[in-house]
Structure 1
Amino acid sequence: MPSAPPAYPGWVARWTGEWLPGSGDGIGTDPEREQRWRGQGFGLPENGVGSVGSGGARLVGFLLDLAIAGLVTSLFMPIDLQNPAAMQSYNLWAGLVWAVLSAVPVSFFGFTPGMAAVGVRVARLDGASMVGVWRAVVRAVLSFLIIPAAIRNIDGRSWADRVTGTVVIRMR
């Protein structure tokens, strides 16, 4: 005899499945499928090299990248705190330097200078060795918006990770 259909549409279960345990996604209801650590569903280890990077490491890496972008910009533009127009121009250039610093190294190497300093990198879930330009650019744009990069699911993946099919993992 077929089982009764769920009391809610299937897309609701898929959408809330990442956020609400026991919402019809199977996680939390079947002891064999219960997720015990971030990244377990992707076959990532619980800790050590290759495990999902922590939110703290991601934040510190982001802040280091912002500081590096500011320092690089200050090599080419003077900082004049008394001149709002000059500071607006400085901030625009620092933002552009950050965007390049966030997209170019990630597309080829999988990490920014700040990420390398804290020991995390971006990896593709399909196993490809390079993140690629379009994924790196989308990640940089979503990181610029802050909120999509800050909200994470049970696997520790941000919206930027889910849109691009990536995950931030530990290098050491």
Structure 2
Amino acid sequence: MPADSRPNAPSGDIAPSRYPGERLGLPESGQHSVARLGRRLGALTVDWIIAMLVSAMFFNADAWANMLVFAVLQIVFLPTIGASIGHRVFGLRLIRVTGGWAGVWRPIVRTALLVIVVPALVWDSDQRGFHDKVAGTVLIRG
């Protein structure tokens, strides 16, 4: 009998998915599939470069200002256009796990966890960082 179908099976005893996003009902590849690492890193790089440029223009490239500008950009763009500038460049968008608009509080929680870095480094088999799991969001190919 498979581990995930046993009565009273421990919660951590779940069969692995065949591909990222399968347990979320998302396709394996193409539009609406879970964003992969390369696109995520590319989007993060674009967003960080934009934050550094804005910080250099207005705050003399202060490290704390970089982080603050990055967070503000995320909090402004995720709820309004469903993606950061970097996400748009790489064809990604943020949605709730159940589908649809992420709302306002989810991007704020996600960003707060993202700026402390560690939660973004802890992933599940659906390639969702802890920051996305807590916020109830998933980054998909748009």
Match of 1:133 among 73, 81, 104: 104
- The structure-2 alpha-carbon separation of the partners of 1:169 and 1:93, relative to structure 1 and needing over 3 Å to count, comes to same
> Which residue of structure 2 lines up, in the alignment, with residue 115 of structure 1?
87
One of 129, 133, 140 as aligned partner of 1:158: 129
TM-score by length of 2: 0.86
> Could you report, residue by residue, the CA deviation over 1:52-90 in whole angstroms, capped at 9, with x for unpaired residues?
0002211221121111011112222445xxxxxxxxxx2
Report the counterpart of residue 93 of structure 1 in structure 2: 65
| SS of corresponding position for 1:156 | coil
* Alpha-carbon distance, 1:164 to partner: 1.2
Superposition CA RMSD, Å = 2.0
Give identity over the alignment, percent: 36
Task: Give the TM-score, by structure 1 length.
Answer: 0.72
* CA displacement, residues 78-131 of structure 1 (integer Å, 9 cap, x when unaligned): 45xxxxxxxxxx222222111101111112222111111112111112223x21
User: Would you say how many aligned residue pairs link Structure 1 and Structure 2?
Assistant: 137
Distance, in Å, in 2 between the alignment partners of 1:5 and 1:161 is 29
Cα distance change of structure 1 residues 75 and 42 upon mapping to structure 2, 3 Å threshold = same
2:42 match: 60
Q: Read off the aligned partner of 2:110 and give its amino acid letter.
A: R
Runs of 4+ residues over 4 Å off in structure 1: none
C-alpha contact (below 8 Å) 1:110/1:123 kept by paired residues: yes
Structure with more relative contact order (C-alpha pairs < 8 Å, separation 6 or more): 2
- 2:139 counterpart of 1:168: yes
Given that residues 143 and 160 in structure 1 are in contact (C-alpha distance below 8 angstroms), is that contact kept between their aligned partners in structure 2? yes
Unpaired stretches in structure 1, ≥5 consecutive residues: 18-23, 29-34, 80-89
User: Which structure has the larger Rg?
Assistant: 1
Choose the corresponding residue for 2:31, options 49, 58, 68. 49
State the SS of the aligned residue for 1:135: helix
